[in-house]
Amino acid sequence: MPASTPPLTTVLAERLTQAVTAALGEAYAGLDPELRPATRPEFGHYQTNLALRLAKPTGRPPRELAETLREHLELTDLCEPPEIAEPGFLNLTLRPATLAAAVTGLLAGDRLGVPAADPAQRVVVDYSSPNVAREMHVGHLRSTVIGDSLARVLAHLGHDVVRANHLGDWGTQFGMLIEALLDERADRTGAHDRAGSDNPAGSDKPAGPDDPPGAAGWPDLAELGRLYQRARTRFDDDPEFAERSRRRVVSLQSGDRETTQVWRGLVAASLAGFDSTYARLGALLTDADIAAESSYNDVLPGVIADLDSAGLLHESDGALVAFPPGFSGRDGGPLALIVRKSDGGFGYVATDLAAVRRRVDEIGVDRIVYVVDVRQSLHFDQVFALARLAGWLPQRVRAEHVGFGMVLGEDGRPFKTRSGENVRLATLLDEAVAKAAALLDERGSQLPEPERTAVAAAVGIGAVKWADLSNDLGRDYIFSLDRMVAMDGNTGPYLQYAHARLATLLRRADAVPSRVEVLEHPVEQRLALALTRFGEAVDEVGTTLEPHRLCTHLFGVAATLSSFYEACPVLRAEQPVRASRLALCDATRRVLATGLDLLGIVAPDRM
């Protein structure tokens, strides 16, 4: 089967559609056969309920319709004779030769049956979005992991993907941070004594306003997090400091040299920390992908002016609000969306509207995907509605919010430290890698260094990612390292071990054939069938933006592979069975490796 041959399900669906037209006439042409994988092995490989759905419009019994469709169905080149199951299902079983040719086709190309997008679109995926001067915590895990996987899948499908990291680098908190940092620098040089920090700048040499951002003397991200806590406390307890902080915000917004230089240093030091975390996670975000809040600051007054001139804004207690249609408050009245605050400041609404406008007008997107906490669903629904009302988000552009649930501790409560703080993402990853290293030791791994360290990192971080992605995104999930870092069950290490085991088997073979010609055992056929569905699974993620669908498919492949090992010897088999099984194993390894990579998970060759 050539690499360009359509997926089997596409061919089967076309044949069914042709049968409907031949049997019932053009009035029913184009009816979706809704072909689905069979629910049980005895029902074959695929099922369709076409006859049941046609019974009412045609006035004929489903069983009679199924018989008619079977008579007009041309599938002898692909399937065994179709069977009818009550009350009128058509069951289709692919011939072993069909499956063998399909897997050989996967091996002949480089896409493993994944269809190329037609037409390809320009898609912005907005994800991660940490705040400057704050360490990434477990709350950033889901956005980063989910967004990175979706960006990978969409790019693999052939879309032009623009990754956007909406960095939180602007707002009132920076007046507080900058003022605190300048105070603590002055303390270190003996100018005054207000902050009471032993190491305010994170270095023996405090950086001055002329030092370049990120130079020696700037705090690292961990110290910036501690600085933020100190500044927050002072802001709440010291009215004089709070007033100076507010004035510092004005200085920042007006471009004051010293203030701007310190702000740039905070951003540069933060980016260094973020980049380190992205590297550990294997996330593909770079500094070039930053779409920071500050980059929209100059256009926000124009956003307000244009909304106002369009008659979409109303004054309410000094604030400017909009009332996108279709949203009601608790009192049943229209729900206001605050676009500009009563103090004249701008919040997330104005920034997100500016981002939509830029992405449509300047980037030319066809689709915008926001990967943000599910609790922000109402915010995005209102922003999208207002942007469409203003004409900034045309109907041709698809805007979607991929909301995700919370990460919970094993007590079922939000995942926090004992002191009630958010768990640092770096700490979480350290613990996962340590747990994976212990797992390798328990299993007697003989990997030499530095390979052992690299594999432990891949397994630990892969376990965290798999646990996150394999769950339905909108639901909360419980973070349990013991369950995540396990070699059995629906876990990342289970999938990684399946890949490593295949890689080891193939290394032991003298040669790996590229054709599957014999599929005699039922479990061989089930494995081949699962491989042919890989492209559908990837395509489905691109449509639904639900990575757990790919996880479910890959786990099914790995589970079937385990049954294959039990029933079908490979290296000890006689030819031509041995060659076919080696090729089948190679196709399985490629599917697992590609699928894990699309999830952002490393597939080690040895464990």
Q: How many distinct structural domains can be found in the chain?
A: 2
Q: Give domain status of residue 515, yes or no.
A: no
Predicted local distance difference test score (pLDDT) of residue 187:
78
Lowest-pLDDT range of 98-107, 197-206, 491-500: 197-206
CATH number of the domain encompassing residue 85: 3.30.1360.70
pLDDT digits 0-9 by tens, 492-518: 999 999 999 999 999 999 899 999 999
Backbone angles phi, psi at 466, to 5 degrees: -60, -45
Q: Give domain status of residue 146, yes or no.
A: no
Q: Give domain status of residue 86, yes or no.
A: yes
Distance of CA 334 to the CA centre of its chain: 34
> Of 270, 286, 321, which one is at a domain's C-terminal end?
270
Q: Give the structural domain span for 49.
A: 8-94
Predicted local distance difference test score (pLDDT) of residue 190:
57
Q: Give domain status of residue 521, yes or no.
A: no
Written as one letter, the residue type at 274 is F
Residue 89 has pLDDT above 70, yes or no: yes
Predicted local distance difference test score (pLDDT) of residue 489:
92
**How much is the average pLDDT of 41-60?**
93
State the CB neighbour count (10 A cutoff) for residue 601: 27
The residues with which 408 forms a beta bridge, in sequence order, are: 414, 478
> Of 77, 94, 111, which one is at a domain's C-terminal end?
94
The residues with which 340 forms a beta bridge, in sequence order, are: 320, 346
User: How is residue 585 written in tokens?
Assistant: 């194993």
Q: Give domain status of residue 442, yes or no.
A: no
> Of 60, 94, 128, which one is at a domain's C-terminal end?
94
pLDDT digits 0-9 by tens, 260-287: 999 999 999 999 999 999 999 999 999 9
Q: CA–CA separation, 8 vs 136, rounded Å?
A: 44
Residue 349 has pLDDT above 90, yes or no: yes
pLDDT digits 0-9 by tens, 512-530: 999 999 999 999 999 999 9
Q: Give domain status of residue 392, yes or no.
A: no
Predicted local distance difference test score (pLDDT) of residue 2:
39
Q: CA–CA separation, 145 vs 375, rounded Å?
A: 18
What is the share, in percent, of the chain residues with pLDDT greater than 70?
94
Written as one letter, the residue type at 232 is R
User: How is residue 439 written in tokens?
Assistant: 């797992």
Q: Give domain status of residue 57, yes or no.
A: yes
Top-confidence residue, 212 or 290? 290
Q: CA–CA separation, 279 vs 20, rounded Å?
A: 53
Residue 213 has pLDDT above 60, yes or no: no
Q: Give domain status of residue 247, yes or no.
A: yes
